[in-house]
Chain A
């Protein structure tokens, strides 16, 4: 892991396993954690209220009974104060009920599950993190550490991760300024394979020093092949303002492949193409498209189980392979080894 890798401004943390493989966690921010904390507070209160009701029903036998009930309630309050978090976190592999419903999990900073000692310790140190009010100390500590750890996390080497990963963040910065493709612009049905998308990503990697003009040049064969596949036509110049059209001509291919990237990259929000159809077309069309949208969303959220099948689809999709070669590989230097128009001539 080199320095520039660490300096990235996002909430991902790379952990290397003993097997020498990197994998990524998304760190949970203060907002989500506060939400989980609030839920846990409600649950604690609910447990105490329930225990109080049950015990006081059982303890109606005179004054001594009432005293025993009070004693037990004090004990229960003590357990809730000091051990609620740690016991749940060690039994439920780093999750309290509140964290579970917020999709959070406590892990050690090396990615291994939290053990009982660390769980107890990080929850004990809440007392210090809460000072002077509303977790101010903890919040300051979270803002100052890369893994957003409060003091309890720092001392016991734990971090809170968000398991509802947002894979979109990988391309969000790249495609923030462009619009996704709309179905009405692309009459032909074609799904751009992952490999083509990662080629596009590589073309825009920040450490690749290419001038914009050269990038446009490299992008042209791929862009033309993709246009043919999708049946995309450039919109005609706006007669009222032709100037912008001609200005955009110089980078139309880079813009187009960025739009392709935005449209087809894996997005937990559902397939953007379908969404933009729902926005831009009449209500009847939107209705027809909705089921598709929903299923796309479902596939995206339970990716892990469905990918093995969808990977199979890609094997059938031989076209993707041709796109892969359609772009001159900047690393191998064998630029244009295949005729790019061959990809679109099918």
Chain B
């Protein structure tokens, strides 16, 4: 076969392929006709063959470039990633996420320690050593926190607060989820950034808690009844996102049997899933914090609902998705 014969014979297929790809590009994947798909894969394979023929016989740069373009287009058309559906999001939260977290319990426990130890230590500091607490967190900040929970601000039935709540909801999503995603992303700096985010957040939360405990009722009652419900989701999610960052760091530092690049890619995807799951939990937390926690209802109801929510989170993370693995 010489070059001219080759071009003459194959040109029709090339043009057909070109128009087919152009048409399929503009239509949705679910609306592709059966014949189109068969024709696409047949033509694609034959054009791949044409390209390798042209490459091996060195039939000119322009012809090679043209076929290369065709192959690239067809490749993009055929090897598209499957469209994401609402169903797959549901599956992720119901099954994939809790399963993944249970498999990665070690980084989770480490992140929990990195968060909880500074938190408990600083609760003690805030409670027993107020002068040290002021050094760490700043006097104004502590006073402001105590001030805002000393009044019955969150229990007043003023209509004004319904709008306030929406603003706070937006703020919580923006701020808290941002912190969680940052805790994950900083894991790529071999985990140093993640540890920093976890520890500093643990300290700042702990100091406030300790200072408010020292203040006594009713401030403490207002405060703890306020945070117990959304805390179930919020604190857990921050730790999970931190665990994601540690998984990423583990991929870099401890590749095991894989090459370092492969290890980073494998662990990175799992770490990202942990962070996204944490993001979902933080969205729930922000809703609770915005609309439920400040409700003007007796604190005993908040405590009981909050305890139920803690139980719910623990059960969700330990049980959900189990039956599917065994069946």
Give A contacts to B, CB under 8 Å. Answer: 17, 19-24, 62-68, 70-75, 77-78, 81-82, 90, 93, 111-118, 120-121, 124-128, 131, 137, 151, 154-157, 167, 170, 193-195, 197-198, 201-202, 265-266, 303-305, 307-308, 310-312, 314-315
Contact = CB atoms under 8 A, between A and B. Distances in A.
B63 A194 contact: yes
A81 B48 CA distance: 41
Given A23-B51, A128-B189, A195-B3, A70 B61 contact: no
23 contacts: A17-B71, A20-B48, A67-B167, A71-B168, A72-B166, A73-B170, A74-B167, A75-B169, A77-B174, A82-B177, A113-B76, A113-B79, A121-B272, A155-B188, A170-B61, A194-B60, A194-B62, A198-B58, A198-B60, A265-B61, A266-B61, A308-B11, A311-B63
Interface of B: 3-4, 7-8, 11, 14-15, 18, 44-45, 48-49, 51-52, 55, 58-63, 65-66, 68-72, 75-76, 79-81, 84, 159-160, 162-164, 166-171, 173-174, 177-178, 181-182, 184-186, 188-189, 193, 248, 251, 261, 264-265, 268-269, 272-273, 275-276
A151 B171 contact: no
B202 to A, nearest CB: 20
Given A121-B268, A308-B11, A311-B11, 13 more contacts: A21-B52, A65-B163, A82-B178, A82-B181, A112-B76, A113-B76, A155-B188, A156-B268, A157-B265, A198-B61, A265-B61, A303-B65, A308-B66
Contact of B188 (A115, A125, A194, A198): A125
B185 A127 contact: yes
B62 A71 contact: no
Given A127-B185, A303-B62, A311-B11, A63 B265 contact: no
A68 B291 CA distance: 13
A18 to B, nearest CB: 8
Contacts of A81: 174, 178
Contacts of A65: 163
Given A71-B171, A307-B63, A22 B55 contact: yes
Given A64-B163, A121-B268, A127 B62 contact: no
A124 B272 contact: yes
A128 B193 contact: yes
B166 A71 contact: yes
A266 B164 CA distance: 64
Contacts of B177: 78, 82
Contacts of A201: 61
Given A167-B61, A202-B58, A63 B163 contact: yes
**When A and B form their complex, which 9 residue pairs have the shortest distance between CB atoms, in order from nearest?**
A64-B163, A74-B170, A71-B170, A67-B163, A194-B60, A115-B81, A155-B268, A71-B166, A19-B48
A117 B272 contact: yes
A253 to B, nearest CB: 22
Nearest to B59: A195
Contacts of A116: 81, 84
A339 B272 CA distance: 68
A156 B163 contact: no
A131 B174 CA distance: 20
A265 B62 CA distance: 9
Contact of A74 (B61, B62, B66, B173): B173
A126 B188 CA distance: 11
B107 to A, nearest CB: 16
A76 B20 CA distance: 39
Contacts of B272: 117, 120-121, 124, 156
B45 to A, nearest CB: 6
Contact of B79 (A112, A156, A304): A112
A315 B4 contact: yes
B211 to A, nearest CB: 28
Contact of B68 (A19, A24, A121): A24
A197 B49 CA distance: 24
Given A68-B163, A315-B7, A307 B68 contact: no
A329 to B, nearest CB: 11
B218 to A, nearest CB: 26
Contacts of B159: 64
Nearest to A105: B76
B88 to A, nearest CB: 9
Nearest to A73: B170
A167 B65 contact: yes
A294 B275 CA distance: 52
A291 B166 CA distance: 62
Contacts of A305: 18
Contacts of B174: 74-75, 77-78, 81
Nearest to A157: B265
Contact of A23 (B44, B60, B72, B182): B72
A68 B84 contact: no
Contacts of A66: 163
Nearest to B252: A155
Given A71-B168, A74-B173, A121-B269, A308 B163 contact: no
Which of B44, B72, B265 counts the most chain A CB atoms within 10 A?
B72
